[in-house]
Structure 1
Amino acid sequence: MSNPRVLCLGEVLFDCLADQLGLKLEEVKSWTPYPGGAPANVACSLVKLGTPTGFIGAVGEDEAGNALVSLLQEVGVDTRGVQRHPTAPTRQVYVTRDLAGDRTFAGFGKYDTAEFADTHLQAKQIPESLFQDADFLILGTLELAYPDSEQAIHRALKLAEQYDLKIVLDINWRPVFWQDENIARQKILEILKHIDFLKLTKEEAQWLFDTTDPGAITYRLDSVEGVLVTDGEHGCAYCLGENEGSLPAFAIAVVDTTGAGDSFLAGFIHQLSKYGIHGLSDKDTAKRIVTYASAVGALTTIKPGAIASQPNAVEVEAFLTTNQI
């Protein structure tokens, strides 16, 4: 088996989506589980677009873990980096949705957030061989909240730097995973020293940098090659190389926004793999890459579930030929 070009490290889980819209957690009558977890979403989306990708993370030795590993393999994601924990359960997240389909994390059921298998990802068990031929490492920040998975993040960063991978961070800020917001901010800001590309929402940008301007964030971080700031239905802004710009969102009927940002990131990395980092120095190419990413994100919102709704490359190209921003 040839090594993947992109490695996604983090959580794979079940998003249990409320079947009834506009209700509070205690009012919801039934839930439907959908496979998710931001890094896993990105990995699956990349494979569907045509970029070979591997996933690194931990699940339990349970039915949920078996189902998620099987799904990753069916999609075509390299699972040699998946670890199985003998006693900790595979994570489930309960998600309520408002009348527009936008989601709110509503808890973890009967378990504490630190009890799930993904928090026990072991640094020493990450296969170094996966890094030898890869081009990108994509990380979230949830793993920084737990000692074992935090060590795994730092080992992956060392391996990425050793083998000259570009490191991409999706902030993916979720307060529910953390006990102390100030510690979270401190750990996230510390890890930014290692990052080449940063993707964050408008709210996350405001929280971390007191600005939503990707150019200002790029200037402040100094070492990054690109910053993407997404704002849901309002589109996105970017600073890639010397090129700054903003794009409105595609006008599309939204069913479920879960995983749209992950698909956006996958679209960006897929195009970056196609055009190369040097492509970002061209204004039109940079805009084309972000437009493609926006299309992938938009198409993910027209069906429920983060992974099930992801488009393939043919669908994205067809959409782009008939839809203009």
Structure 2
Amino acid sequence: MKKVFCIGELLIDFVAENQGKDLSKAKEFSKKAGGAPANVSCAISKLGGESLFIGCVGDDPFGTFLLRILENEKVDISSAQKSDTFTTLAFVSIDADGERDFVFSRGADKELTYDSSLKSRFENNILHFGAATALLGGSLEETYNRYLFDGITKNAFISFDPNYRVDLWKNKEDVFIRKCHPYIEKSHLCKFSLEEAQLLSGKDNLDEACQVFHEMGTQIIVITLGSEGTLLSTANFSKTIPSIKVTPKDTTGAGDAFIGCLLQQISQHSKFENVLADEKLLTNMVARANKAGAITTENFGAIESLPTLQQLDS
């Protein structure tokens, strides 16, 4: 089994209670652990995989809370760091359809520093880059770029999820696109939402978008389409794989559950080439990942809603 190293932010989601999408009307919030790479690491571990989280929290009660959550989910937190900067916070509202609206108060996640001892551990393992805050500058972005280079030199399987957040990139979309492209070029697997695929490819048509990404270098592309399933594309085939029917309460973490489940399955195989060459195997993997994402939407909060093996197999 390969280990999956998840690199990026870990933060507090304050989820508004009993209201629609307008945060100005919210009066009560529930404290939840969040951050896409952290969610992915928990999804992998919850399904029996080996995950290690690389990120930074504040040396404060919120940071302690977050690391304890990951540890309870059996995620390896030995490479997580603490900073004197306060833990990053996100205020989240959820509308009647389970869609989210974010406001960020950025803190310690940007303080992650490079650890040269990790390079040797990357060899022949999986590196997952979740980029919600990682490309906003600071030490985190520099560290992120260095780990990408380390992963390439150590023959790691590279996975990338841009985790585009509109509020973080207003009037700077061109910068986001420019910073994402090197990761798309170097990744074996890229996971996009519909909005991300269109933004980063410059194409409205998804077949054309996939062609752009393949020409850039990505070998496996998955574009999540909500209730319609997931578009899976390789150099040899393209198909939309349906999901299961659910009534969503909260879509927070659904994409992270999806990519976590997919990476957990890939980690079971000694050679990536065998996965890439097997259309039936890849199709079944994505179908299972669709189910993981769908199950996550049936409850509030990301990590506590991630499915177990028993739920996926039922």
Higher mean alpha-carbon deviation, 272-281 vs 134-143, is at 272-281
RMSD over aligned Cα atoms: 1.8
Higher mean alpha-carbon deviation, 210-219 vs 259-268, is at 210-219
Aligned to 1:144, the other structure's residue is in SS state: coil
Deviation at 1:140, TM superposition (A): 1.8
**What residue identity is the alignment partner of 1:246?**
T
The answer to whether the 8 A contact 2:58-2:87 is kept is yes
Partner of 2:179: 187
Aligned to 1:308, the other structure's residue is in SS state: helix
Q: Does 1:220 align with 2:224?
A: no
- Structure-2 change in CA distance of 1:163 and 1:64 (3 Å): same
Aligned to 1:274, the other structure's residue is in SS state: coil
Matches within 5 A, 1:245-324: 245-275=239-269, 276-277=271-272, 278-318=274-314
Q: Does 1:135 align with 2:130?
A: no
Matches within 5 A, 1:19-38: 19-38=17-36
Q: Does 1:17 align with 2:15?
A: yes
- Structure-2 change in CA distance of 1:126 and 1:32 (3 Å): farther
**Of 84, 92, 95, which residue of structure 2 is paired with 1:95?**
92
The answer to whether the 8 A contact 1:81-1:126 is kept is no
The answer to whether the 8 A contact 1:218-1:226 is kept is no
Deviation at 1:4, TM superposition (A): 6.7
- Structure-2 change in CA distance of 1:48 and 1:245 (3 Å): same
Partner of 2:3: 5
Q: Which runs of 5+ in 2 are unaligned?
A: none
Deviation at 1:184, TM superposition (A): 1.4
1:72-96 deviations in Å (ceiling 9; x for gaps) = 111100111101002x111110111
Partner of 1:322: none
Deviation at 1:267, TM superposition (A): 1.1
The answer to whether the 8 A contact 2:44-2:260 is kept is yes
CA–CA separation in structure 2 for the residues paired with 1:27 and 1:227: 39
CA–CA separation in structure 1 for the residues paired with 2:238 and 2:27: 46
The answer to whether the 8 A contact 2:16-2:94 is kept is yes
**What residue identity is the alignment partner of 1:25?**
L
The answer to whether the 8 A contact 1:243-1:286 is kept is no
CA–CA separation in structure 2 for the residues paired with 1:129 and 1:67: 30
Matches within 5 A, 1:108-123: 108=104, 111=105, 113=106, 116-123=107-114
Deviation at 1:124, TM superposition (A): 4.1
CA–CA separation in structure 2 for the residues paired with 1:23 and 1:145: 25
The answer to whether the 8 A contact 2:7-2:127 is kept is yes
CA–CA separation in structure 2 for the residues paired with 1:245 and 1:234: 12
- Structure-2 change in CA distance of 1:240 and 1:50 (3 Å): farther
The answer to whether the 8 A contact 1:160-1:167 is kept is yes
- Structure-2 change in CA distance of 1:102 and 1:125 (3 Å): same
**What residue identity is the alignment partner of 1:55?**
F
Higher mean alpha-carbon deviation, 59-68 vs 203-212, is at 203-212
Aligned length: 307
Deviation at 1:240, TM superposition (A): 3.4
CA–CA separation in structure 2 for the residues paired with 1:33 and 1:9: 22
TM-score relative to the length of structure 2? 0.92
The answer to whether the 8 A contact 1:60-1:90 is kept is yes
Deviation at 1:287, TM superposition (A): 1.0
**Of 124, 138, 145, which residue of structure 2 is paired with 1:147?**
138
Partner of 2:224: 230
Q: Which runs of 4+ in 1 moved over 4 A?
A: none
**What residue identity is the alignment partner of 1:208?**
L
TM-score relative to the length of structure 1? 0.89
1:19-67 deviations in Å (ceiling 9; x for gaps) = 1232411111211111110000000000000110000000000000000
Higher mean alpha-carbon deviation, 212-221 vs 307-316, is at 212-221
